[in-house]
Structure 1
Amino acid sequence: MSTSSGMATQDVGAREAPPLRGAWLALLTFALSLATFIEVLDSTVTNVAVPSIAGSLAVSNSQATWVISSYSVAAAIAVPLTGWLSQRFGEARLFIWSVLMFTLTSLLCGMAGNLELLVLCRAMQGLSSGPMVPLSQAILLRSFPPHRRVLALALWAMTVLLAPIFGPVLGGWIIDQFSWPWIFFINLPIGLFAFAACAALLQRERPDARQPPIDTMGIVLLVVGVGALQGMLDLGRDHGWFDSPLIVCLSSIAALALVSLLIWESAEPFPVIDLSLFRDRTFSFGVAIISLGMVSFSVIGVIFPLWLQTVMGYTAFQAGLTVAPLGILALVFSMLIGIFLDRFDARIVTSFGFMVFFAVLAWDAHFTLTMSFSQIVTPTFIQGIGLPCFFIPLSAAILSRIPNEKLAAASGLSNFLRTLSAALGTALSVTWWDNRAAQHYGTLAQSVTQASSGTSQFLRSLQAFGPVGNQLTVVRNVVEQQAYMMATNDLFYMASLVCLALAMLMWATKPWHGVSAARAGQ
């Protein structure tokens, strides 16, 4: 009895402990940022490792992509459960154990000797990583004083934004210098440091003894619906989308499960997903805008390097170098926004960010096959201004009217919809890119005839390539290359119009002037 009483006294003391300040707060922020960085990095760094993994484990490239799919499916399932899990176990405990499990499963991934074990370990790693990003956001907000919480959001956003940019470059360098297991082994020292620092600094409250009943049906519907949807997005392009019975089956299961989930959760007194958050207009519009913004950003993250490698002939490392400059101004403006955002209306800053994206993507829509490296890098460098200008204020606006006790649930739900939208944008943009290229190829091929003076002149210039068969192969390659260039321009143009629309839609929200104002008023 006395032991129990002593533990209760310790918990109360933990609750009443003064907030961290100075060097200790800086250390906690650094540890949280590192944990977030390695989680986001791990979701992209494996993309360039697929050929190396396939060769090492003696499997095909398509089989090796399950290393990516298993992680994304598991993480997609775990992220929306963050709010419910944090209520049952406490935010700090859940985050600390998630970091530790993520680190240990990274070790197991690097030690895996066959594909089956690697896929299983990656799934476990994805389940562990799910709560890390939303909880790091919620914990940072709660750890900082009200007048510094936008700065906390800026620090968090830097890790979320920069990790996907530098992930492919870092992954390519590690594989070239070492071998694919090291893309997992590098998580060990970082993860262990983050675990030790957070375990020492975070105040852990004992979960309420009166736990609400488990929403078993909600969890089952969530796992089935999100798993089927993520599987459909990952496998759709390789299986010809709805021409495949597998994709039709997965999409039907996803639609049925997710619709049933919405109906069930709306009537469930203790839901695993708190749909009441959408009653706040700023949260609803903010989540919708940032999700659509990430769809547009996926064009840069996916189509841009694809175009460089398949059309322009760049290597994977060179393609990564063209995207990396985006992070320079993104880093600088993240800090500036963190310091000065409270002085401005978040809608003005966000609209400016989307207008930068609109202008740069419209610029990209005029790219040609003769572009030099510097001509390609310049707009990408400028685009770094727009990325934090829309992401940080939107993140602040989304949480600006959310009560403290619902921060973890709101952060988990918004991050889930954001990452799911990015996955949807990736899948749709690649498919649309291929389809538009096929349409342009058909149109261009019709003009390549013997009667065309341009074709005749081009064929005469190809006399050095030998027989007519070789010349026709060159013509076909040139037409295909031009078709993909035109498709790339189309996609950039469409994405620019989406950003223009989002700049205007932002004015439908009514956020506080920075997240700190909302927190201070609660």
Structure 2
Amino acid sequence: MSSLAPTTPPPLTGTRLLLGSFAVALATFMNVLDSSIANVAIPTISGNLGVSVDEGTWVITLFAAANAVSIPLTGWLTQRIGQVRLFVGALLLFVLSSWLCGIAPNLTTLLAARILQGAVAGPLIPLSQALLLGSFPKEKSSSALALWAMTATVGPIAGPALGGWITDSYSWSWIFYINVPVGLFAAAVTWAVYRERESKTRKLPIDLVGLASLITWVGALQIMLDKGKDLDWFNSPVIVTLGVVALLGFVFFVIWELTEPNPIIDLRLFKGRNFLAGTIAISVGYAVFFANLVVLPQWLQQNLAYPAVNAGLVTAPLGIFAVILAPIVGKFLPKAELRVLATLSFLGFAAVFFMRSHYTTGVDTYAIVLPTLLQGIPMALFFVPLTAIILSGLSPDKIPAAAGLSNFARVFCGAVGTSLATTAWNDRTILHHSQLAEQTGPNNPTYVAALDSIQRTLNFSPDQAVAFFERSLNSQAVMLGLNDIFWISSVIFVVIIPLIWFTRPARNAAGAGAASGAH
């Protein structure tokens, strides 16, 4: 296919810039929102479709697996189809799959629609970065990244609260139906603004072996991570089998892609120092951040009896500073040392998680909300500088592939981090419960006195007092286990700071990719 744009189009201006940026940002928001909006609705969906909650969680698992496979294919698909056609086509298919999710009469149909939805959602995030970078003048490319970061940040935060409200107030189907008008509007505006700014395309042979191996190892690993805790990890033959398939598939995939003349994913991008270190830093950081974004509402609902909507609202203040500061960071970025900003972000995250590591079972809402509110500050400094570092020094034709591969690593590490955090939380809870239980018994005067106090204060029988004490002990063990997760998270953010300084200076690094949007 011949190029539709022999030269790089000039940046957008005026109304076209405003509309184009809004449409692309809206598509990004819809995509990242959908990755978390279904989480709180799983019990309702399962009940309505007559399946167990464990079966219902496949709604999340299969979306994540399909999404993880398709994200790194963005670069290859872009070269064959073109950025604009791929973005708009993926958006329209996302709308169709959302509608199919909403009307699904049974779990099988819903899962098939979620697989399609996850697959077509993959290219939207990296292409939104590329389109926004191409919309702005080179010197304002950091503002484009700031706009992208703002929408990508708010989505996962708003998802649980919005999903809970829609499910409670209307029907779970509407968490999918709302994508239809939003997606159609975003697709129409994007096509109107960008259709004459299509990127160069060329016919490439399809690397079927690479594609098959990618689907195999990513799918196996994603399902293993999502189902590992439920199946007791490597005590389950299913998990062992999935682990072996994922490992062998990954090794084969890497060897094949590095020796294939036209690989479906360009792993040679990792030869770049900034791409390698920047991708690892943003992926590990996002894994820790996202894992905590999952376990905190889970603890609030299961142990502090917060309703789903309230648990979502308590985490919502994270978006306040993130949204307010994002455009400020965008304007400040061209004059800043990106590595300093990223370091401040990591130190901010470490401080927030350290604050949370001192929670007690009697923690009030203020103590929960304050660190969440403050976390918005490092959040605003997280995506933009690191993304700019990752894309710095790359030729325009490499940007979609680089954005796709780095986003794949980030999203995939988010899934790994969540799985590791929930498993570690469970293990630490068991350990703390065992240690606390050792202090109980008739030979411990403190324990005997506590039971006597419970019986007198609450007018309980001896058996009721023991049951009450056991519940309190369980709650304390869960709290101590979660505090361990918060503390470890704080340490990880400090430990990975040297990765940032392994990169080369990239002042206004986003400028390197500024022309990438419609190259």
The CA distance in 2 between the partners of 1:71 and 1:48, in whole Å, is 15
Is 1:161 the counterpart of 2:153 in the alignment? Answer: yes
Match of 1:488 in 2: 482
Aligned residue number for residue 140 of structure 1: 132
Cα gap change, 1:384/1:18 in structure 2, threshold over 3 Å: closer, same or farther? Answer: closer
For residues 192-341 of structure 1, the aligned pairs below 5 Å read: 192-202=184-194, 203=196, 205=198, 208=201, 211-341=203-333
Mapped contact 2:41–2:164 kept (Cα < 8 A)? yes
1:59 corresponding residue in structure 2? 51
Provide the TM-score with structure 2 as the length reference: 0.96
What's the secondary structure of 1:512's corresponding residue?
coil
Q: Is the 8 A contact 2:9 2:197 kept in 1?
A: no
The alignment's C-alpha RMSD in Å is 1.7
CA contact (8 A) 1:401 1:511 kept: no
Q: Is the 8 A contact 2:338 2:389 kept in 1?
A: yes
Higher relative contact order (CA 8 A, sep 6+): 2
CA–CA distance in 2 between the matches of 1:518 and 1:228?
36
Match of 1:176 in 2: 168
- Measured against aligned partners, the alpha-carbon deviations of 1:438-477 in whole angstroms (never above 9, x if no partner) come to 0000000010111222211211122135322211111111
User: Whole-Å Cα distance in 1 between the matches of residues 93 and 435 of structure 2?
Assistant: 53
CA 1:392 to 1:181, structure 2 compared with 1: closer, same or farther past 3 Å?
same
Does residue 396 of the first structure (1) align with residue 388 of the second (2)? yes
Aligned equivalent of 1:20, options 12, 16, 21: 12
Q: Please list, as runs of the form range in 1=range in 2, the aligned pairs for 1:67-216 lying within 5 A after superposition.
A: 67-202=59-194, 203=196, 205=198, 208=201, 211-216=203-208
Q: What are the equivalent positions in structure 2 for 1:375-414 lying under 5 Å apart?
A: 375-414=367-406
Go from structure 1 to structure 2 and tell me whether the alpha carbon gap of 1:223 and 1:520 turns closer, same or farther (over 3 Å shift).
Answer: closer
**Structure 2 counterpart of 1:492, one-letter code:** F
Q: Retained in 1: the 8 A contact 2:59–2:110?
A: yes
Give the 3 Å change call, closer, same or farther, for CA 520–421 of structure 1 in structure 2: closer
Change (3 A) 1:521 1:103: closer
User: 1:18: Cα distance to partner?
Assistant: 4.4
Q: Measure, in 2, the Cα distance between the counterparts of 1:12 and 1:34.
A: 26
Runs of 4+ that moved beyond 3 A: 10-13, 15-19, 204-209, 519-522
Q: For 1:366 and 1:332, how far apart are their aligned partners in 2?
A: 28
The answer to whether the Cα contact below 8 Å between 2:391 and 2:510 also exists between their aligned partners in 1 is: no
Q: Is the 8 A contact 1:131 1:412 kept in 2?
A: yes
User: Who is 1:497 aligned against?
Assistant: 491
Contact 1:53 1:180 in 2 (8 A): yes
| CA distance, structure 1, for counterparts of residue 402 and residue 15 of structure 2 | 29
Distance in 1 (CA, whole Å) between partners of 2:436 and 2:221 is: 36
Q: Cα 1:521–1:162, aligned 2, differ >3 Å: closer, same or farther?
A: closer
Kindly indicate whether the alpha-carbon contact (under 8 Å) linking 1:299 and 1:491 is maintained by their aligned counterparts in 2.
Answer: no
Q: Does 1:415 align with 2:402?
A: no
For residues 74 and 517 of structure 1, the distance between their equivalents in structure 2, rounded to whole angstroms, comes to 32
Q: CA deviation at 1:390?
A: 2.0
In the alignment, which residue of structure 2 is the partner of 1:4? none
> Per-residue deviation at 1:417?
0.4
What are the Cα deviations for residues 420-439 of structure 1, in whole angstroms up to 9, with x where unaligned?
A: 00000001100100000000
Question: Superposition pairs for residues 445-456 of structure 1, below 5 Å?
Answer: 445-456=437-448
Contact conserved, 2:213 with 2:249, CA < 8 A, in 1?
yes
- Residue identity opposite 1:509 in structure 2: T
Task: Among all aligned residue pairs of Structure 1 and Structure 2, give the percentage whose two residues are the same amino acid.
Answer: 43
Q: How does 1:344-359 map to 2 (within 5 A)?
A: 344-359=336-351
1:519 Cα deviation after fit:
4.3
Aligned residue for 1:11? Answer: 4
Change (3 A) 1:57 1:19: same
**SS of 1:414 mapped into structure 2:** helix
Code of the aligned partner of 1:483 = A
Deviation at 1:212, TM superposition (A): 2.6
In structure 1, the gaps of 5 or more residues are 1-6
